[in-house]
């Protein structure tokens, strides 16, 4: 038996309780059986364990191995650089993950409160953590619901469940019985931990506490690690491929030089190991961290707070955004959008019927900034019309109130002004019409006809089809029989309006090939109306109840096609997100409520709202939109794409240089030539290419067309890049071998110095080609220009200063420079032409 599908007497009997409350002995026994009414969390990882887990990446382990090798071959500088990069990344990751451990703690705080309970036939106030199943609680307006409860009795009870179900309107409660398969949002006889009472009062029996509540189930669902981002997965695989390829190439070079050419064992080993170290892209984690950190700084200015560095890159790869409705696509502020008076539908400014707004203001217990959201909307509409709220309520002093009841669906007040009495009524239009025998049209009062009633019903239907919550308004002079012979005045249609900027954001998502899905606990009509207003691709609406009745195959098809899911429970939202990820989508989830936390945690990228967002949602997220503006996510996507693009440039630049170096030494070995560069020279080149220029690439601005086209399954290294790296590496090897061999007659040291210098300078020619492929100019990035200048000066320092002794170089003359520059110009021109041909052949 479910507690919502039985009457309260059966529930009390099943819990071995009664309306007089539990005895002290029973409470003690149940506390031992069920535990305290708190949310437990899994065993927390120690700070040391969290820190050590930052080193589990294969690429990080590879870099540590490279640093150890560098140390033993006498290159302490390279060792320090690599270890600094690794430790820096570990510290950043540690800080972010340590913060995420607070998510369950936030959930736990939500249930630490005081509540009124009936025990041993008397009312007492206790800490909510001491509640047990079977306890009888008494709640009233403003109370936080301390546990999941079944209502025993209630008076005008309404609760705010938006943080749990996404329902934007207060929910009217009752004591009726519902079917077993009724979803949470429709269990009107139940109260849920973490929600609050906004109107009325009730007595209820506690049915579930702690981790057994709906809130507790959410706590269990977010006790999982966030899935790795696409880039994190890629870097791990990439590191494994790099080490395999490098070991094969280095092994061949070592074998040729030692076994076939009988070169010195130590020199051959040092060169081979140096080449291996040079081939390891130790700058890759640094560039990811740097570009992400710069992205964080930029996004703060765009009102976006990044909690996990890798998250901003993942957002750039997003293919689906699963968003909630209330407070994200809408303003989460009930507003009167349309009114009906004198048999015309119009907006507030066009309406001329003052009485319509006076009734809404006076038959009302809310203030401008407090009270029931629907009633507040009526107060605001009266003010927008031009009524003075304080003056109206002062002159029309209330004498009596007949409060709203869910069964009657109306509220009536009697007011007095200057000795005259007035009755004002508001409520469901079909109910209000039945109490009216007259109607006010253009200021004139006439007897109401069937034609008038028909027009009113048509207006109600039209407004309701736009997902407006429609209320009717009527009045009469006199205090006798206040609910008879009234004058019908009109209707007010209330709705949580869409944010005006969201339509533009949706359009940008379409251009970027990003599918937007609405997942909400609100009603289907409301969800569909909002979706149509913001120009979403609707493709049908599906409810949580329908999802419950689907088999896996049907559910799979629904997730692929349907873009609006309404009346959804937290478990449904999580299931939808997981299914999308199974289908290979990169899923971003936006949300602000407790109900959004599991999906935020289990998505590729969780985006929480900063203003309306609960602490739970924020702590479960990767990104927080500080202005609660869905449109801000477009800026975040653009920044993510910029980072992804810059990472591709860096990888292209780095791998081209590394491949060229390996190919240069390999071809020289196959031709039985002396090594064109020494071990220390290889490590120096590695320092230059992985240094300032490569890092500066990460600061490139975004391309103009970066938000056009889908990014699903976009790889960092694609076919075009592989071809570019291959042809460039071959050009490098041929050109530099030519320089090396043509100068061998002047001595090995000079030939190596020329090849070494040519290798260093070619890196910067490659930079120009890479930038031109993305339609960027080198001078558009001042940091890149400064990095090139710094690198050139550093290279000159090992030729023309005492440092040359350590690098085994000599000073080059003008003729030498002339020869180097001519060869580099030819190589650069050929590389540019080939890159253009490759771009055309591989164009999507």
User: How far is 524 from 530, CA to CA, in rounded Å?
Assistant: 10
Q: Which residues share a beta bridge with 136?
A: 118, 205
User: How many CB atoms sit inside 10 A of residue 524's CB?
Assistant: 16
- Token pair, residue 609, equals 């709202």
Q: Which residues share a beta bridge with 304?
A: 625
List the one residue out of 781, 775, 772, 787 whose CA is nearest residue 689.
787
Give the 3-state secondary structure of residue 350: coil
User: How far is 809 from 794, CA to CA, in rounded Å?
Assistant: 14
**Residues 6+ away with beta carbon under 8 Å from 138:** 116, 117, 118, 123, 201, 202, 203
Q: Which helix (H) or strand (E) element contains residue 127? A: strand 122-127
- E runs forming strands in 556-634: 564-566, 587-591, 605-609, 623-625
User: How far is 522 from 543, CA to CA, in rounded Å?
Assistant: 10
Three-class SS string for 279-340?
A: HCCCHHHHHHHHHHHHHHHHHHHCCEEECCHHHHHHHHCCCEEEECCCCCCECCCCEEEEEE
Give the 3-state secondary structure of residue 148: strand
User: How far is 813 from 802, CA to CA, in rounded Å?
Assistant: 17
- Token pair, residue 358, equals 């006076």
User: How far is 97 from 480, CA to CA, in rounded Å?
Assistant: 68
List the one residue out of 675, 815, 659 whose CA is nearest residue 751.
675
Three-class SS string for 411-458?
A: EEEEEEECCEEEEEEEECHHHHHHCEEEEEECCEEEECCHHHHHHHHH
Clarify whether 556 is annotated catalytic: no
CA end-to-end span of the chain: 59
The CA dihedral of 460, 464, 466, 469, to the nearest 10 degrees, is 110
Q: Which residues share a beta bridge with 153?
A: 203
State the catalytic residue, choosing from 148, 324, 496, 592. 324
User: How far is 274 from 271, CA to CA, in rounded Å?
Assistant: 5
* Structure-token match 């006010």, residue found: 440
- The per-residue DSSP string of 354-423 comes to HHHHHHHHHS---BTTBS-HHHHHHHHHHHHHT--HHHHHHHSEEEEEEEEETTTTEEEEEEEETTEEEE
Tell me the CA distances in angstroms from 274 to 78, 85, 270, 660, 736, one per residue in order: 11, 19, 6, 14, 19
Tell me the CA distances in angstroms from 15 to 8, 150, 215, 814, one per residue in order: 10, 11, 21, 96
Distance of CA 471 to the CA centre of its chain: 36
Q: Are 619 and 102 in contact (CB under 8 A)?
A: yes
Residue 842: phi and psi, rounded to 5, are -105, 10
Q: Are 309 and 289 in contact (CB under 8 A)?
A: yes
- Token pair, residue 486, equals 């009234």
Q: Which helix (H) or strand (E) element contains residue 670? A: helix 632-670
Q: Is the dihedral of CA 243, 244, 245, 249 positive or negative?
A: positive
Q: Which residues are catalytic?
A: 324
């Amino acid at each position: 038996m479910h507690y919502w599908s039985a009457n309260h007497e059966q529930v009390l009997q099943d819990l071995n309780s009664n309306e007089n409350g539990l005895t002290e002995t029973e409470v003690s026994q149940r506390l031992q059986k069920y535990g305290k009414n708190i949310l437990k969390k899994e065993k927390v990882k120690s700070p040391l364990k969290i820190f050590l887990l930052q080193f589990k990446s294969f690429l990080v382990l590879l870099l540590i191995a490279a640093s150890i090798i560098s140390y033993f071959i006498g290159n302490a500088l390279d060792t320090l650089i690599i270890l600094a990069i690794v430790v820096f990344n570990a510290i950043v990751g540690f800080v972010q993950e340590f913060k995420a451990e607070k998510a369950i703690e936030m959930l736990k705080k939500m249930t630490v409160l005081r509540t009124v309970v009936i025990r041993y036939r008397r009312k007492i106030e206790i800490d909510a953590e001491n509640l047990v199943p079977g306890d009888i609680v008494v709640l009233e307006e403003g109370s936080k619901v301390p546990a999941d409860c079944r209502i025993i009795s209630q008076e005008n009870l309404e609760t705010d469940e938006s943080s749990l179900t996404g329902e934007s309107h207060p929910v009217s409660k009752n004591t009726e019985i519902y079917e077993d398969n009724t979803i949470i949002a429709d269990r009107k006889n139940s109260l849920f931990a973490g929600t609050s009472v906004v109107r009325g009062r009730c007595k209820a029996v506690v049915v579930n506490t702690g981790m057994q509540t709906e809130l507790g189930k959410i706590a269990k669902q977010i006790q999982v690690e966030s899935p790795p981002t696409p880039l994190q997965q890629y870097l791990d695989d990439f590191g494994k491929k790099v080490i395999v390829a490098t070991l094969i190439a280095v092994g061949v070079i070592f074998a040729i030089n030692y076994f076939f050419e009988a070169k010195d064992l130590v020199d051959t080993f040092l060169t081979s190991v140096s080449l291996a170290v040079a081939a390891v892209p130790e700058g890759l984690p640094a560039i990811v961290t740097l570009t992400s950190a710069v992205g964080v700084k930029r996004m703060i200015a765009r009102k976006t707070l990044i909690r996990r560095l890798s998250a901003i890159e993942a957002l750039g790869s997003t293919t689906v955004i699963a968003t909630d409705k209330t407070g994200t696509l809408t303003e989460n502020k009930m507003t009167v959008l349309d009114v009906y008076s004198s048999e015309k539908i119009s907006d507030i400014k066009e309406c001329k019927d003052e009485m319509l707004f006076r009734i809404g203001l006076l038959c009302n217990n809310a203030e401008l900034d407090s009270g029931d959201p629907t009633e507040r909307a009526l107060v605001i509409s009266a003010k927008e019309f031009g009524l003075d709220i304080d003056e109206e309520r002062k002159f029309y002093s209330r004498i009596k109130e007949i409060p709203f009841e869910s069964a009657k669906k109306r509220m009536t007040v009697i007011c007095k002004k200057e000795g005259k009495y007035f009755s004002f009524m508001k409520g469901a239009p079909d109910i209000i019409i039945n109490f009216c025998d007259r109607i006010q049209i253009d200021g004139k009062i006439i007897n109401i006809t069937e034609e008038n009633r028909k027009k009113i019903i048509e207006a109600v239907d039209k407004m309701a089809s736009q997902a407006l919550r429609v209320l009717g308004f009527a009045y009469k002079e006199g205090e006798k029989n206040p609910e008879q012979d009234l004058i019908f005045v009109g209707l007010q249609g209330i709705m949580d309006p869409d944010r005006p900027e969201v339509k533009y954001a949706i359009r940008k998502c379409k251009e970027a090939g990003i599918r937007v899905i609405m997942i909400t606990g609100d009603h289907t009509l409301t969800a569909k109306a909002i979706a149509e207003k913001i120009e979403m691709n609707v493709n049908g609406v599906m409810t949580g109840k329908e999802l419950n009745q689907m088999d896996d195959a049907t559910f799979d098809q629904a997730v692929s096609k349907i873009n609006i899911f309404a009346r959804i429970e937290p478990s449904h939202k999580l299931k939808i997100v997981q299914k999308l990820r199974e289908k290979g989508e990169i899923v971003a989830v936006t949300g602000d409520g407790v109900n959004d936390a599991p999906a935020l945690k289990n998505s590729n990228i969780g985006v929480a709202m900063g203003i309306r967002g609960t602490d739970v949602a924020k702590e479960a997220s990767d990104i927080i939109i500080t202005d609660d503006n869905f449109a801000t996510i477009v800026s975040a996507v653009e920044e993510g794409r910029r980072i992804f693009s810059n990472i591709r440039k860096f990888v292209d630049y780095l791998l081209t240089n590394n491949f060229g170096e390996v190919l240069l030494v390999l071809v020289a070995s196959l031709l039985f030539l002396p090594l064109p560069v020494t071990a220390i020279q290889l490590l120096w080149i590695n320092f230059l290419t992985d240094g300032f220029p490569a890092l500066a690439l990460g600061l490139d601005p975004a391309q103009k067309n970066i938000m056009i086209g889908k990014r699903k399954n976009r790889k960092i290294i694609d076919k075009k890049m592989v071809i570019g790296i291959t042809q460039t590496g071959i050009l490098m090897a041929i050109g530099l071998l030519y320089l090396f061999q043509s100068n061998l007659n002047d001595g090995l040291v000079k030939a190596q110095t020329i090849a070494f210098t040519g290798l260093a300078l070619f890196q910067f020619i490659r930079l120009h080609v890479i930038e031109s492929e993305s339609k960027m100019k080198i001078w558009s990035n001042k940091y890149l220009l400064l990095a090139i200048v710094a690198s050139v000066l550093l290279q000159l320092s090992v030729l023309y200063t005492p440092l040359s002794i350590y690098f085994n170089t000599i000073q080059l003359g003008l003729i030498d420079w002339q020869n180097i520059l001519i060869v580099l110009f030819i190589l650069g021109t050929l590389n540019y032409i080939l890159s253009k041909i490759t771009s055309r052949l591989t164009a999507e």
